[in-house]
C-alpha cells in the first residue's frame, strides 16, 4: 500500500499512519503539507500511489477546492476525502466533486477506512493496467526518440548538444522528476564516457544526502541512451531568482547555502568545476540545491575522464587556473562562488566579452571588480573569493561559510 497524504495537522497524519500500518505493516507514505509545500504541480497524476488522502481544511486553504482540481485530472489516483463530518454539506459536496470515498476524521472507523483503502487500491490497479496497454500510455513513454518504461513524459524542458531535459512523472518515485537523457558514446578504448559521467553524477548525489544537494532517483540505459532521473524544482534556478532581484542579505544567505553544499561535495572528495546560476536550483525563494555534477572531478578517480590541460566549465564563472587548464583544488569552486556572489549583489557579471577566451584572459589579468559604495562592507569578501591565485582565497568552503555568515550578521546589524 502506497499513499499520498495531503494534510497539515501532524497529529492527524500520525493517526492515519497508525491505522494504515495496523493493516499494512510495510505501507509507504508520502506526506504533503499544503501550507508549507503549496499546490501539487498541475501535471502530477499520482500514478505511483494506490490512493490519495486529502484533508478537509488548513490555514488559508480548503480541501474541496483541491478535490475539484485533482478529481478533474484524467487518470488521477482515487482521492479519499478526510471530512470533518460525513453527514454535512462538505462531505456531500466532496462526493459530488469526485471523491472516491469520505472518511470522518473526528471518529475514524478503522474497519470501514481499511475497506475503503483496499477498494481504492484495487480500482487504481485496474485503471493503471488498462492505461499501460493504451496507445496514449505507449506514446507517453517516449522522450524524443527514446522510450523509457515507468516514466510518463510531461514535456521537454531544455536541451543542448550533449543532453536533453524532460519533465516526467515517475511511478517509482511517486513524484514529478527531471530526466536527463544523452546518447551513449564509446571512445576508442570502448569506454562509454557518457554513462561514466552520469554514473558519477548519480553516485555523488546519492552518497551525500544533503539538503543543499539535488536528489537523484534512478540511473539507466534505454535505446542506446543513458538517462538520469532527479528531483524537479518548479521554482527554477538562480537565473530566474536573479531576474526577480536579490537583496544583499538574500545574496549572502544563498551564498552560505552554496558553501554548505560545496563543503559536503569537497568532503566527499570531489570538485564541482561548473558552479553557475543554472546549476543552483531554488526550493522556493530562499533555499537552494546544487546540481549537475556531470563535470565534477573526483580527486581520487580510477578513471580519468578528461585529458590534462582540457578546459572544462563555463567561462564567466571559471577560476583563472581552471581557465588555463592548470591544476585545481577546492578553491576553484570558491572563486566561482565569488563570481556568483558579485552577480547577485550587483546584477551583472564582473567579466564579460563576446569572445570566451577574452573572458578567460580577464579572469587572470583584470582587476578584481569593485562593489558599489553602499556595499563596501562586503568588498573584503569579494577580494578574498576572487583572488587571482588560490593561495589568496579562503582555504575551504567552511572558512568561506564563516566569513559569509559574519558579514551577514554585520550587515543585519547595520540595517537594524
pLDDT along the chain (416 residues), means of 10: 96 96 95 92 94 94 95 95 83 94 93 96 94 90 92 90 88 91 70 70 80 89 88 92 94 97 91 92 91 57 37 80 91 97 96 92 96 96 98 97 96 74
What's residue 305's pLDDT? Answer: 34
Whose grid coordinates read 524544482?
233
147 in the same domain as 20: no
Last residue of a domain, one of 204, 231, 258: 231
* Residues 338, 323: Cα–Cα separation, whole Å: 15
223 in the same domain as 276: no
- Domain hosting 213: range is 140-231
299 in the same domain as 348: yes
What's residue 397's pLDDT? Answer: 97
- Strands 225-231 and 216-222: what pairing? antiparallel
What's residue 308's pLDDT? Answer: 40
What's residue 205's pLDDT? Answer: 76
What's residue 313's pLDDT? Answer: 59
261 in the same domain as 112: no
Domain CATH number, residue 6? 3.40.50.2300
249 in the same domain as 111: no
397 in the same domain as 307: yes
Distance between first and last Cα of the chain: 52
Give which of 40, 92, 31 is closest to 61, Cα–Cα.
Answer: 40
* Residues 113, 124: Cα–Cα separation, whole Å: 16
Q: What is the DSSP string of 359-410?
A: HHHHHHHSPPPPPPGGGGGGHHHHHHHT-SSGGGS-SSHHHHHHHHHHHHHH
Residues that are catalytic: 274
What's residue 307's pLDDT? Answer: 39
What's residue 310's pLDDT? Answer: 43
213 in the same domain as 361: no
- Cell reading at 122: 484495487
What's residue 192's pLDDT? Answer: 60
What's residue 42's pLDDT? Answer: 92
Domain CATH number, residue 158? 3.30.200.20
368 in the same domain as 316: yes
CB 345, CB 375: distance < 8 Å: yes
What's residue 193's pLDDT? Answer: 67
Domain CATH number, residue 340? 1.10.510.10
- Structurally, the chain folds into a number of domains equal to 3
Distance, C-alpha 40 to centroid of its chain: 15
290 in the same domain as 183: no
Amino acid at each position: 500500500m502506497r499513499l499520498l497524504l495531503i494534510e497539515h495537522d501532524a497529529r492527524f497524519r500520525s493517526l492515519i499512519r497508525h491505522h494504515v500500518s495496523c493493516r499494512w505493516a510495510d505501507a509507504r507514505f508520502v506526506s504533503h503539507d499544503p501550507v508549507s509545500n503549496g499546490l501539487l504541480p498541475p501535471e502530477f497524476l499520482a500514478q505511483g500511489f494506490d490512493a490519495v488522502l486529502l484533508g478537509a481544511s488548513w490555514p488559508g486553504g480548503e480541501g474541496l477546492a483541491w478535490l475539484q482540481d485533482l478529481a478533474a485530472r484524467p487518470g488521477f489516483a482515487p482521492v479519499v476525502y478526510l471530512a470533518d463530518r460525513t453527514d454535512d454539506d462538505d462531505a456531500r459536496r466532496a462526493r459530488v466533486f469526485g471523491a472516491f470515498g469520505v472518511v470522518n476524521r473526528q471518529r475514524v472507523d478503522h474497519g470501514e477506512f481499511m475497506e475503503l483503502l483496499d477498494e481504492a487500491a484495487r480500482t487504481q490497479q485496474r485503471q493503471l493496467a488498462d492505461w499501460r496497454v493504451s496507445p496514449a500510455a505507449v506514446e507517453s513513454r517516449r522522450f524524443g526518440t527514446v522510450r523509457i518504461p515507468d516514466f510518463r513524459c510531461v514535456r521537454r524542458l531544455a536541451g543542448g548538444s550533449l543532453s536533453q531535459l524532460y519533465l516526467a512523472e515517475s511511478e517509482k518515485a511517486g513524484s514529478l522528476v527531471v530526466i536527463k537523457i544523452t546518447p551513449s558514446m564509446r571512445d576508442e578504448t570502448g569506454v562509454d564516457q557518457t554513462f561514466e559521467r552520469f554514473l558519477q553524477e548519480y553516485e555523488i548525489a546519492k552518497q551525500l544526502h544533503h539538503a543543499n544537494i539535488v536528489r537523484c532517483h534512478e540511473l539507466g540505459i534505454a535505446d542506446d541512451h543513458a538517462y538520469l532521473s532527479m528531483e524537479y524544482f518548479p521554482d527554477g534556478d538562480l537565473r530566474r531568482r536573479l531576474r526577480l532581484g536579490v537583496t544583499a542579505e538574500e545574496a549572502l544567505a544563498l551564498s552560505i547555502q552554496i558553501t554548505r553544499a560545496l563543503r559536503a561535495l569537497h568532503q566527499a572528495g570531489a570538485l564541482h568545476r561548473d558552479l553557475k546560476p543554472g546549476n543552483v536550483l531554488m526550493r522556493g525563494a530562499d533555499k537552494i540545491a546544487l546540481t549537475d555534477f556531470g563535470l565534477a572531478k573526483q580527486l581520487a578517480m580510477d578513471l580519468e575522464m578528461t585529458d590534462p590541460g582540457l578546459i572544462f566549465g563555463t567561462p564567466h564563472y571559471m577560476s583563472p587556473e581552471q581557465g588555463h587548464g592548470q591544476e585545481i583544488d577546492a578553491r576553484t569552486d570558491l572563486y566561482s562562488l565569488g563570481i556568483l556572489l558579485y552577480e547577485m549583489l550587483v546584477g551583472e557579471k564582473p567579466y564579460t566579452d563576446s569572445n570566451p577566451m577574452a573572458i578567460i584572459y580577464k579572469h587572470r589579468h583584470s582587476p578584481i571588480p569593485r562593489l558599489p559604495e553602499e556595499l563596501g562592507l562586503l568588498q573584503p569578501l569579494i577580494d578574498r573569493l576572487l583572488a587571482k591565485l588560490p593561495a589568496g582565497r579562503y582555504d575551504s568552503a567552511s572558512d568561506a561559510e564563516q566569513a559569509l555568515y559574519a558579514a551577514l550578521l554585520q550587515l543585519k546589524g547595520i540595517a537594524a
